[in-house]
A and B are shown apart, each in its own frame.
Chain A
Amino acid sequence: MDLGLTPSEQKFRDELRTWLKANLPPKTSHSVKNAASAAAYHAYLKDWQRKLYDGGYAGINWPKEFGGRGATFIEQAIFQEELALADAPERMGTIGQGLVGPTIITVGTEEQKKRYLPGILSGDEVWCQGFSEPNAGSDLASLETKAVLEGDEFIVNGQKIWTSYAHIADLCMLVVRTDTSAAKHKGLTCLLVDMKTPGITVRPLKMMSGDAGFNEMFFSNVRVPASCVLGAVNEGWHVAITALSNERANLGTGLYVMFKRNLEAVLVQAREMKRHGKPAIEDPVLRQKLAQAHVDLEVFRLNTTRALSQLNKTGIPGPEGSIQKLYWSELNQRNAQIAMEVLGPYAQLTEFDSGRWIYNYLRCRGNTIEAGTSEVQRNIIAQRVLGLPRSY
């Protein structure tokens, strides 16, 4: 047990801090997002990713041979933490960097690595992830979007839904059915699809929070070269699981800092807002709830650090990532509820505090659904970590 930073971790952090001081854009992500058009915001984020790339800070834990920094998972955590502490712009292309890229590194061909990895790191190419379908949500393996091989091309037909970033993406990691006669997990294939290919239509969906973050995608006779298969044909399930494990493993630290900032802002409100003529933070019941929020968040930080320390040794994110996902999604919802309680009637005003609390409360409702519902995470923990038999 030694939770202190090693000299090399310390050095990494100090260098990063210096770099951030010199390179952070003058305008914060939040101010640009609210003031500028979607396109201007997109350009702002793209510039930032380019800066990170040029500074050698894109793909922190990717191997050096693929343009990464070859840093440890601990250093990656330090990176996310420092970015958040510095109020750096939100990252664009997180799907490419956190999920598609590592999967291409694991199972991709040499050509695919050469073709796709540089664009992911530089931010020149944004990815989306075509997994869920109207009839394949939690039961992802039952997806129906079909790809039929004709010569050296797959012809893709079908529909995807809940696809984040599809409206701005250049490329899509798409899971399709290539063998309709095999068992449902065995007939899937993963394709790397250019979003400009004729036959793809994207229709944005609005979240209850008002965000236009996710989309429906329609595929009508979309022709995808056979060389764009990621992994092997009919091995798509394994590829998808690799991608999802990476997704769960990569989120923790960045989220912690975001949640921590939220709690600090709630505490500011709790000192301002009154209950029975006294600051809300002195109300015995609210005080207990706020303390619990503090504890839950601290345990999240410790769980994440411990998981990363473990990942540093094994190198491969495993099903334990489901514990983190389950924990943070439910924690964020509990803490958003506590914030609303602290605010009392102010909680419902869209103009109050730039609407951040309403947004927070509504947006977090999706947390226990996106990236695998809490029920699916519990199934994964029970079956793949505890070794209980499959229930479906």
Chain B
Amino acid sequence: MRINNFAYLIKEGIRGIFLHGFMSFAAVIVTVACLLIVGSFSALVYNVNIMVEDLNKTNEILVYVDSELSDAEARSIGTKLNRIENVYRAEFKSREQALEEFVADHQEDEAFSGVQASDLRHRYVVVLENNQLMEQTVERIEAVPGVAKINAAYELAEGFATLQNVLHIASMAVIGVLLIVSLLIISNTVKLAMYDRRDEIAIMKMVGATNGFIRLPFVVEGFILGMLGAAVAFFLEWTMYNALITQLAAVDTLKLFHFVPFTDLLIPMVATFVAAGLFVGVVGSWTSIRKFMDV
């Protein structure tokens, strides 16, 4: 294909957008609406997942130190514990600190009034990166010299793991369905746009235009409309997301919800929107035009 022809076809693609303004507008609006739905749901799922993970981190393991060890020896175990794979944080708590907490928790219970610091052990409060690997990590902690006993809530960890898995599968299924529905809607809009121009395509075929020549302006048009839809959807999503988390922060005085800033979602969101915009624009126009090429 000659350069001047290529330039002409690109120009025709751009011209087509304005010439068929209403259909172009409809295609962009449908793309924006579908991407907004998919994007918003994905952002919601991402945040819920992070909240569940944060909640999961409150499931701490208590590692009791052998009471025969000196204070310095007990403190030195912390370095070894923090080096174990999957340990997010191992925080030393002396027997005195433990007593303070114990007294605070049981101050109205006379049965514990005589408890002394020497009755308790030094301990570490361990938070894991991934609680699904709790059993294996606990085995490694047990192997550290000086560790006397471990209290780990395996059932709670399993509960969180199940919740995360269910959430993951359900969200993937919903996002998948939303994507398919969106693609079908957008593809139908593109088909309508093609139908609107079937005569033009038929004339091009009649005068001997090759399929590539006929397709290129439509694909250029689809590309531009897809990208435009993706860009509009992205900036709308950004604005809506920020507005929503600001509103939520204002009413969430107990700080129950923690939403990540949109900048954390920037790269996956841009990648998804651009990929979806490109796919529906280019693939949508490429496949939709096939029906009208068969003359």
Is this pair of chains taken from one and the same complex? no
Residues of B within 8 A of A (CB): none
Residues of A within 8 A of B (CB): none
